[in-house]
Amino acid sequence: MKSVSVVLNKYFYIYLIQTILFIRQNKYGGKMNLVNEDLTYKIIGCCMEVHNNLGKGFNEIVYKDAVEYEFNQKNIFYKRESEFKIKYKNIVLSHSYFADFVVFDKIILEIKAVESITNSHIKQTLNYLAAAGLQLGLIINFGEDSLKHKRIIL
């Protein structure tokens, strides 16, 4: 019974996210989505170039350096290791987080080199988006045989 409950919760969670994404897309008439989609294709293209050349097996820092190189080659505006303060009630916490990349001042790019993207990676990126005041994030995983990415919308 417990495993059935876990599976149902997983499908409910996926359904809930899809519903939120559908509502958000319709709220903006699809325009916001199309603009950002073009930008995400550029980012993913750079990451594919890196994965095609390096493959899997390196640490995240190696992929970050290579992605930065590709961004520079393609004149893509980015900031690396941007610091974001975390607000809690009426204070700013002493610790902050650092986004791997903020691209075009709109998209948080998180680089991973793991076996697969997990729910904890998604939740982490959602928290980063909230702290940064941004709406779109990309998780790119170089740790699999083929490049995997996940688009996250807050």
pLDDT digits (tens, 9 = 90+) for 3-39: 544 445 656 666 656 666 565 555 444 444 544 678 8
Question: In the Cβ-directed half-sphere of 83, how many Cα atoms lie within 13 Å?
Answer: 5
Separation CA 17–CA 15 (nearest Å) = 6
Class of domain 29-153: alpha beta
Report the pLDDT averaged over residues 141-151.
93
Domain-wise residue ranges, the chain: 29-153
Is residue 99 within 8 A of residue 82, CB to CB? The reply is: yes
Unique residue bearing structure tokens 């991973």: 112
* Four-residue CA torsion sign, 110, 116, 121, 122: positive
Question: Closest Cα partner for 24 from 123, 154, 115?
Answer: 154
Average pLDDT, the chain: 84
pLDDT digits (tens, 9 = 90+) for 53-84: 999 999 999 999 999 999 999 999 999 998 88
pTM of the model: 0.75
